[in-house]
Chain A
Amino acid sequence: MTYPKELLPNPQRSLIVCELSEHFLLRKTSSKDIIHISTGLIKEEFITDSDNGMFEYSTNLFGHFEIEHLKYNLDKSPKKKYFHSDWELSKEVIEPTENIDFYLDTDFGYFFIPIAQVAGLEVPFKKGDSKVEYICRSNVEHCPTNSNFWHFEIRWFPVKPDEQGQIVRKSGSWQKYLSATIKARIRNYFLTETPEITLLSESSFSNN
């Protein structure tokens, strides 16, 4: 089986910067059994692998990227790093090969996240005993990789007091709070049924 061409970046494609609040992110899980028996919500282990994972939270933009595409499982070993690396705009990419660069998953689950519920979330907090109030804002960003043009991440950026432009990455107690906040959003608004959407127009992601 060949890797789907529609997933690969190509020089005719450009970064997606249009309004996406009516769209949904699609997240793959390693099991179909994603609901926790006690809470009735998504199990934490399927929202993310670790708290660090909430800071550059990896998802796919649902639409041109379909549920069927989740079965293409790329080798995550360091020697296959190329396929997970950020795509350089306008560059041609190497197509992954079955059983060498990717294999097919037969058993997986998934859920959807409404972009409107996780983008532009501003969270105030204080670091330790400091009196200074910080605010971080979440953003949903197009981060195409060499094997997935439709790769998006939820990222956090400081907006107050004056650290604009830096992505929040490190793990600490206040970062755990930011993680818990975005996880709460996902737990509260996730969908398991396929939402109806309007496909993103070709002009939204092409140079032409």
Chain B
Amino acid sequence: MIATTPSNANTQELLKGYPSIELVMDYKSSYDIFKSYLGFVNNSSIENNVMKNKIELDFKTDLQSKRMFYKNSQMIKLNKCFEETFQKLIFLSPTFIGVELTRNNSIFFFVKYSNLNIHFEVLIDEKDKTEKVALNIFNEKSHILSQLLEINEALTFIKNEYINNYSEESYLDLGLGNIYNNDIPERTLAESSEIAYCM
């Protein structure tokens, strides 16, 4: 896959404060060599920062390219929703996150964790105050979950059901720990087991 650099002035404005894709890729490439030499594995804070910058850039580029489908107010809402959701998803310590802004007012996150493919589509409804997530989870061969939940419910459900050795410590150095502590209510396994599974 080839990363492209947005060229017009609007995009540059939108991307202010974010590193250029060339810089991110150079950094990632250098880091890969360094990591390979030392035999590092995933989940260092450096790698998470690279992934974070890349995903933010992916979203802003997508938002810019699809701006004709949205009013300004919707774009602001989409941007806010992306930032809030992404900050929370990164706490799950995924091995991969990708993001796609759809043309139907939703933000689709593709998250890989261990052998799970997590399809996390935030459905933004102008009438609803709380965004809902269409959460679909696949393991290697099966579709193991399909459910409509609020964002925080979905994140807590994933954490409780699938992330056994979850640790907050590795993310505190990203400066995001407070967001997790404040925004994601704890739920018990009993509560999350009420959620229905699809066939």
Give A residues with C-beta under 8 Å from B.
35-41, 43-45, 50-51, 117, 120-126, 133, 173-174, 176-177, 180-181, 183-185, 187-188
Contact = CB atoms under 8 A, between A and B. Distances in A.
A125 to B, nearest CB: 6
B100 A185 contact: no
A44 B103 contact: yes
Interface of B: 1-4, 55, 58-59, 62, 98-100, 102-104, 106, 108, 110, 117, 119, 121, 123, 125, 128, 132, 134, 136, 138, 143, 146, 148, 196, 198-199
B123 A124 contact: no
Identify the interface centre among B58, B59, B134: most chain A CB within 10 Å of its CB. B134
A53 B145 CA distance: 23
B123 A173 contact: yes
Given A173-B125, A181-B146, A184-B146, A41 B198 contact: no
Nearest to A173: B125
Nearest to A187: B119
Contacts of B58: 37-38
Closest 6 CB pairs of A and B: A180-B134, A39-B98, A184-B136, A38-B58, A184-B119, A39-B110
Nearest to B198: A123
Identify the interface centre among A35, A51, A174: most chain B CB within 10 Å of its CB. A51
Nearest to B98: A39
A188 B145 CA distance: 13
Given A41-B98, A50-B104, A184-B121, A120 B199 contact: yes
Given A44-B102, A180-B123, A187-B119, 6 more contacts: A38-B55, A45-B103, A120-B199, A180-B134, A184-B119, A188-B138
A41 B121 CA distance: 14
Contact of B98 (A40, A120, A121, A174): A40
A176 B55 CA distance: 25
Contacts of B110: 39-41, 187
A123 B195 CA distance: 12
Contact of B136 (A35, A36, A174, A181): A181
25 contacts: A35-B1, A37-B3, A39-B98, A39-B99, A40-B1, A40-B110, A41-B98, A41-B110, A44-B100, A45-B102, A121-B143, A121-B198, A123-B146, A123-B198, A133-B196, A173-B123, A173-B125, A176-B106, A177-B132, A177-B148, A180-B106, A180-B121, A181-B136, A187-B110, A188-B143
Nearest to B148: A177
Contacts of A40: 1, 98, 110
Nearest to A137: B199
Given A41-B110, A173-B125, A177-B148, A185 B143 contact: yes
